Amino acid sequence: MWAWAGVSMALLWKVKWLRLANASQHQWRLNTNQCALLAVCGILLSGIVGALLVRAMGASTDGSLPPIALLVALVAGSLTTIVTFQLLRYFSRANKANTGHVQITPSNTLIKNIFIGAVGFLIVWPLVQITSLLGGAIQFQFTGMPAPTVGHQFLETIREQGNNPVTWGLVFTIVFLGPLAEEIIWRGAIQQGLKQIGMPRAGAIVVTAAMFALFHWGAVPEYCHAVAVPALAVFGFALGFLMERTGLLWSSFTAHALFNCANLFLFSMLPS
């Protein structure tokens, strides 16, 4: 892992493409007000929709949710964000068409952005893991408490479920729907919105990465915050960089999806 991290650092130091100064012109269509609305819908409305559906199922929202209720809440929340984003994009495109300012089709292709996202994931993965290890070592030094092996409550839910349709629904949501919705909110609405109100590009990436990491605080088990939160901040910074460097969300979404997929795979290799 340390050798892999060394290669990643060398690439970050030497490869000119990996410079924020070379960022592409972004293809984000939403204005500041639309970004704010999308962020509110993605964070608040999606949670409300998920909670209402869970209540309608008769499940209690106090404590841990039953697996099927958790799946319904996650899917509903993700779809609320995605649908809101598509509606805002549609109205934004229609307004620009009416004023004669239709945005030029981006030159970056979907395949190219997926490839860039995959490469970005391979570069940042060891750096995230080492950040996690260092956080765990510092925590143990000051508290004497080792970090739990499993760093996210959803993973424990999947372990308890075993092999059934609910498990595979959770896997699909964690690998695909969740990352897509989160990238729309964080690297899309919030990061681009911060830039639109005057924050420098680097500052927007850092602030969004910190918010992204802290947002996951409640999903991280006790005595795992020092391990998970700094690592998620590093990962969030990498996702923000990918969005700025390519100008599209597909690259950061790909890296995010691969990150979740890799964690699920490693988790599946642990003994019961």
User: For residue 97, how many other CB atoms are within 10 A of its CB?
Assistant: 11
Cα–Cα distance measured from residue 248 to residue 16, given in angstroms and rounded to the nearest whole number: 19
Residue-wise pLDDT tens digits, 83-97: 999 999 988 876 654
Q: Tell me the average pLDDT across 253-258.
A: 98
Cα–Cα distance measured from residue 143 to residue 24, given in angstroms and rounded to the nearest whole number: 44
More confident residue, 153 or 104: 153
pLDDT range class, residue 272, cuts 50, 70, 90? low
Residue-wise pLDDT tens digits, 105-129: 455 578 999 999 999 999 999 999 9
Cα–Cα distance measured from residue 44 to residue 48, given in angstroms and rounded to the nearest whole number: 6
Mean pLDDT for the chain overall: 86
The predicted structure's pLDDT at residue 141: 85
Residue 100 reports pLDDT greater than 70: no
Q: Report in angstroms the alpha-carbon separations of 241 from 11, 76, 85, 211, 238.
A: 15, 28, 21, 15, 5
Q: What is the pTM of this model?
A: 0.91
Residue 98 reports pLDDT greater than 50: no
pLDDT range class, residue 99, cuts 50, 70, 90? very low
Residue 256 reports pLDDT greater than 90: yes
